[in-house]
Amino acid sequence: MRYERCEQLFGKEDFAKLQQAKILILGVGGVGGHALDCLYRSGVTDITIVDYDIYDISNQNRQIASDALGESKTTVLSQRYKGIQTIHQKMDLVWVANFDFFPYDIIIDAADTTKVKIEIARKEYKKLIMSLGSAKRYDTSKIEVASIWKSHGDALGRKIRNELKKAKFDRNFTVVFSPEEDKCKEKGSCIAVTGAFGLTICSEAIKKILTQNKK
């Protein structure tokens, strides 16, 4: 049985909850792709991914399925992870405003655009698990999970907090981040960290699903 060991770990009732959960992943690059892989292998069957990019050679140091150069991520990943739903769409503020997030139990934000991340947080904070910056780092032991308001040492997180404060938004949502000092000025990256971000997000999503469904 494919998921025998997952079922042994979670128990039949909780494993059934995972299989019934609806998860939306925004961005399937170095972080989102590993979150997808982890959730899929853990038995989650109802997953929708949103991305607009094609695979480029510069993705091959960190992204799952990036050998498919020139092909869209949504197309390639839908072939690799049978049964997932795909939305080949560039995420912008108009899309966030018009998209129906209601059907999903968990929303994973692994998008790159700061303004988009802020609007998603304002609209769907109760369901949200957000990835902050995973580039420029290589020490996985520094990775933390916290409320956005307790995150620290991350430039993206600081910018998001400041913008939310300006908008008088004070609600909590979960972020995965690393306060590790930047190791370069460019967008250097290491799969040890981007992958660990995705796996940590997967773990948080599983815990959130099982907690949400506790009577």
CB 82 within 8 A of CB 41: no
Measure the CA–CA gap between 205 and 18, rounded to whole angstroms. 10
What domains are there in the chain, each with its CATH number? 4-212 (3.40.50.720)
Task: With a cut of 90, say whether residue 215 has pLDDT above it.
Answer: no
How does residue 137 score in pLDDT terms, banded at 50, 70 and 90?
A: very high
Measure the CA–CA gap between 51 and 138, rounded to whole angstroms. 25
pLDDT digit string, tens, across residues 111-124 = 999 999 999 999 99
Measure the CA–CA gap between 147 and 164, rounded to whole angstroms. 13
Lowest mean pLDDT among 11-15, 23-27, 182-186: 182-186
Q: What single string gives the DSSP state of each residue in 120-168?
A: HHHHHGGGEEEE---TT---GGG-EEEEGGG--S-HHHHHHHHHHHHTT
CB 39 within 8 A of CB 47: yes
Percent of the chain with pLDDT over 70: 99
Structure tokens of 112?
């790159």
Task: With a cut of 80, say whether residue 207 has pLDDT above it.
Answer: yes
pLDDT score, position 186: 87
CB 30 within 8 A of CB 189: yes
Measure the CA–CA gap between 49 and 86, rounded to whole angstroms. 5
- DSSP character at residue 54: B
